[in-house]
Structure 1
Amino acid sequence: MSDFLLRINGDTRCPGGINVPANQDDWASGVFSAKLVKSAASTRADGTKAGPPKVGDRVYIWVIESGTKTRGHGLTGIARVEDVSEASDSYLLATSGLELLKNPASFDRAYAHAPSAKIIAAVKAYRPERIWSLSDTDTEVLDDLIAVSGGLQETDQEDPIGEAIERNLDDIEAELPRRKQSWIKPRPGQAEFRRQSLERHGGKCAFTGTGVEAVLEAAHVIPHTGAAEFERSENNLLLRRDIHALFDLFLLSIEPDSGTILVSAQLDGSPYEELRGKFVDHKLAASALRFHYKQFCETVST
Structure 2
Amino acid sequence: MASGLRYGEIPAVTVGDRFADYDAMNAAGVHRASQGGISGGKDGSDSIVVNGGYVDDHDDGDEIIYTGQGGRDPNSRTRHVAHQELILGNAGLMRAYEERQPVRVIRGSKGDKRFSPASGYRYDGLYGVTEAWPEIRQQDGFRIWRFRLVKLGTTAAAAPGSDPDDAEEDNASWTGGRKTSLVKVRRGQRKFRAGLMEKYGLTCAVTGPAPKEVLHAAHLRAFAEHESHKRSEGLLLRSDIHSLFDAGLLAIDTSTNTVVVAPRLREDPTYGPLAGAGLAIPASLMPDQTALDDHHQAAKARWAIET
Name the TM-score class by shorter chain. Answer: 0.3 to 0.5
Select the structure with the greater relative contact order (CA < 8 A; seq sep ≥ 6).
Answer: 1
Q: In proportion to residue count, which structure has more helix?
A: 1
TM superposition score normalised by structure 2: 0.37
TM-score by structure 1 length?
0.37
